[in-house]
Chains A and B, each alone.
Chain A
Amino acid sequence: MSANLVALWYLAASVCFILALKGLSSPESARRGNAFGIAGMTIAVVTTLAIVAKGRLDLIIVAMLIGGTIGALVARRVEMTQMPELVAAMHSLVGMAAALIAVAVVNNPGAFGEHDPLPRGNRLELFIGSFVGAITFSGSVIAFGKLAGLGKKFRLFSSAPVVFRGQHALNLALAIVMIGFGTAFFLSGDKGWMPFIVMLGIAFVLGVLIIIPIGGADMPVVISMLNSYSGWAAAGIGFSLNNTMLIIAGSLVGSSGAILSYIMCKAMNRSFFSVIMGGFGAAEGAAADSSQKTVKSGSAEDAAFLLSNAESVVIVPGYGLAVARAQHAVKEMAQKLIAKGVNVRYAIHPVAGRMPGHMNVLLAEAEVPYDQVFEMEDINGELGTVDVALVLGANDVVNPLAHEKGSPIYGMPIIEANKARTVLVNKRSMAAGYAGLDNPLFYMDKTMMVFGDAKKVVEDMVKALE
């Protein structure tokens, strides 16, 4: 195949990737978008296979079959609550692949149609692509461990931040040394193995060090950030191979991850910089000082009575709901209420799950129709006219302190459940949320607390509604 033809096929693949992302603007077009993505990938792979047709196709096909089978099995079996872990694991694979390819380029630039030894112009990009890839790999492994709850076995994977004295100074020093070796690789006249490998090794260590101080509450940002890194790594490799399709695909993914990180930071009222510096979430689960105030608590039956007499109900699900696996029970309850003529809607905070959009997927899995599910900013204006707000396993995202100057979460966007005529809150205990703050919502006169496991409580409500 001529180089021009290859470039045109790659262009077609790039357009498919853009269409794949464009499709995600609505649930109706999203599946067609995914089909475009698959088509683009097929074009890219087949075109590349045609380039190496005289080489070891057998080796490549076997590797593809093994990898593809594993991927397909995982995709079929993974639980929707485990999506964050899966995504973290997949980021690490992209990072590792980028690092391996970079080593292969240094070893034999000829295989990629480059001069041997690699020209300077491509070395800088190879350096960037490989260190970003290495950081993506080891960082994602740590993120995976934290998300999968491996902290009990290995301290490195602890979901509480792992911090030590001089951490940031060490990271900075390592980064400078890494750039030093990268520069040595750039300037060296031969292949430059020594500086390249040392640089890569430091990058792997840096990836671990960057992610360990970040606490469990900040995981939505971390996953988005690693998503972005995996894209930039692919783009970097694209630069060093002069492959425009790789640059385009990598840039799309890189900017996607960056935008998601921004959205997540904003939703948590945290600056990107403070997330990276880590240490947040150390006071996880600390009990709030609630000794002075009293709460009204009631049974699931009381709650069901209030719900069935309401005209409109807004359900605010938090991650506690997903942990208790109560989505299906909630949907059943909502159906019962709808059958009684109650207008039921769901209000989703951007950080309601453990990754961007996670709660939407969990509700969709429970077959909640997506036209009942509203984003925070779309429903906040209407909460003042709602009879009952039912808060299930959420805390910080409904904390009215966010509107009070001087509070640590001042400015954080919240779902304004406190504006509803009656508020029902289901929680296991009075423990504080990730932010470690007391929540005035629980002490309001119109609030009734229903203590207990979310699934048990909602199932009791369903029974009471019958």
Chain B
Amino acid sequence: MSGALDPTVVNLVVFVLAVFVGYHVIWNVTPALHTPLMSVTNAISSVIIVGAILAAGPSEIDFGSALGAVAVGLASVNVAGGFLVTKRMLEMFKKKAPKAETKAEKK
């Protein structure tokens, strides 16, 4: 063995392990929450915004940083929209039990 580790190999290691984690975590998601799962994964894949921020980062504005800024905007729509709509949906799945109890007490 000789030479430095190629970053691509490190990336591949991370990638394969992450797919395994994803596989096991996702099979545990209850089918009732598959729609919120899609909206939250949408928000999570928008973490691509970090790439967009780096692209928009350089102090002189050129073609590349302009594209980066547009990408930041697009990804931000998803970040905000994805998490908020997921939150809105999950609120609906709140147990209505406390309300029912108060009704029962009145009776």
Chain A residues packing against B (C-beta within 8 Å): 13, 17-18, 20-22, 24-28, 30-31, 33-34, 37-38, 40-41, 44-45, 47-49, 51-52, 54-56, 59-60, 62-72, 74-76, 78, 80, 83, 86-87, 90-91, 93-94, 96-98, 100-101, 103-105, 107-108, 110-112, 121-122, 125, 223-224, 227, 230-231, 233-235, 237-239, 241-257, 259-260, 263, 348, 350, 353, 355-358, 360-361, 364-365, 367, 369-371, 373, 375
Answer whether A97 and B57 are a contact pair too, CB < 8 Å, given A74-B81, A227-B41.
no
- Complex-state Cα separation, A412 to B70, whole angstroms: 45
Answer whether A34 and B38 are a contact pair too, CB < 8 Å, given A104-B67, A108-B62, A239-B8.
no
Chain B residues within an 8 Å CB radius of A83? 35, 39, 85, 89
Q: What is the count of residue pairs linking A and B with beta-carbon distances less than 8 angstroms?
A: 385
Chain B residues packing against A (C-beta within 8 Å): 6-8, 10-11, 14-15, 18-19, 21-23, 25-59, 61-65, 67-97
Chain B residues within an 8 Å CB radius of A20? 40, 44
Which of A37, A80, A231, A367 makes the CB contact (< 8 A) with B96?
A367
Tell whether, in the assembled complex, residue B84 and residue A72 are in contact, meaning their CB atoms are under 8 Å apart. Answer: yes
How close is B93's CB to chain A, nearest CB, in angstroms? 4
Output the residue of B42, B48, B61 with the most chain A CB within 10 A: B48
- Complex-state Cα separation, A105 to B51, whole angstroms: 9
Which of A18, A75, A365 makes the CB contact (< 8 A) with B81?
A75
- Complex-state Cα separation, A34 to B37, whole angstroms: 10
Which of A38, A93, A97, A241 makes the CB contact (< 8 A) with B54?
A241
Chain B residues within an 8 Å CB radius of A47? 50
Which of B53, B90, B95 makes the CB contact (< 8 A) with A369?
B95
Which of B10, B38, B74, B96 makes the CB contact (< 8 A) with A356?
B38
- Complex-state Cα separation, A256 to B40, whole angstroms: 11
